[in-house]
Structure 1
């Protein structure tokens, strides 16, 4: 391989390494456990999932358009909906969101330990479980 070829290959390697380093790493691991229609409530379904925030992890502001119930399995999370103060929800504790709530803050309370919680939501059938806020 000539010098030009070696230089081009090295340049491609550096470009690849820089672009990979610039990609944000996910701070949440979401695992869908089930989604089932509610027989006695036409047009509604229940979705159950787990969310694990890595140390220091958080999500952007969002909404669920659903009745959401959270139970913390490990660690602690800081939760806040618009119009209310943030609360720290610890292992064994619960948190509730209403369909009209804006979930302003959802974050791991620890910078060194992961946090994991189960989410149970009742929502319109076929609609997304979470949607980002328009305009941030």
Structure 2
């Protein structure tokens, strides 16, 4: 029988591992944003899917590496301002109280704290598969990709 405390510690470990982030440190030190997992819950009407919630803190001037998310992401700015850019869109600065949505597998090119003097903090709500990480690095661009013909529908 599993206790609530052991389930919580397992949940926090799994969330931290699947978030794919290291402990927070300023960007100039090469660290990743700080992620604090809050919960993970299976969705009963969507078998194989889970909802995850976490806070993400960006130190002053810190940026996250370009990435994508296998599932849907909803982000809400709790404190500060964050510059975000999804592939195909211009960069947008979101301030406290604003939110945005990221569709699955869309390349998230820019995530940056807009301030060099204040931290920024987000509440992130994600829908992920049972065995999927919440965040993946962007695949490296291949020079052979430029030689591939584009395929368009008639």
Q: For the superposition of Structure 1 and Structure 2, which TM-score range results when normalised by the shorter chain?
A: 0.7 to 0.9
Moved more, 86-95 or 24-33: 24-33
Structure 2: gaps of 5 or more residues = 1-27, 142-154
Shift of 1:25: 4.5
Deviation at residue 126 of structure 1 after TM alignment: 2.1
Q: Pick from 92, 103, 123: which aligns with 1:118?
A: 123
The alignment of Structure 1 onto Structure 2 pairs a total of residues equal to 114
Secondary structure of the residue aligned to 1:69 is strand
Aligned to 2:15: none
Q: Which has the higher contact order (CA 8 A, sep 6+)?
A: 1
Partner deviation per Cα, 1:41-98 (whole Å, 9 max, x = no partner): 0111101001000000110100011110000000000001000011001000001100
TM-score normalised over the length of structure 1 = 0.79
CA RMSD of aligned residues (A): 1.5
Give the 4+ runs in structure 1 shifted more than 4 A.
none
Q: TM-score, normalised by structure 2?
A: 0.70
5+ residue gaps, structure 1, are 1-22
Task: Give the corresponding residue for 2:66.
Answer: 61
- Higher strand content, 1 or 2: 1
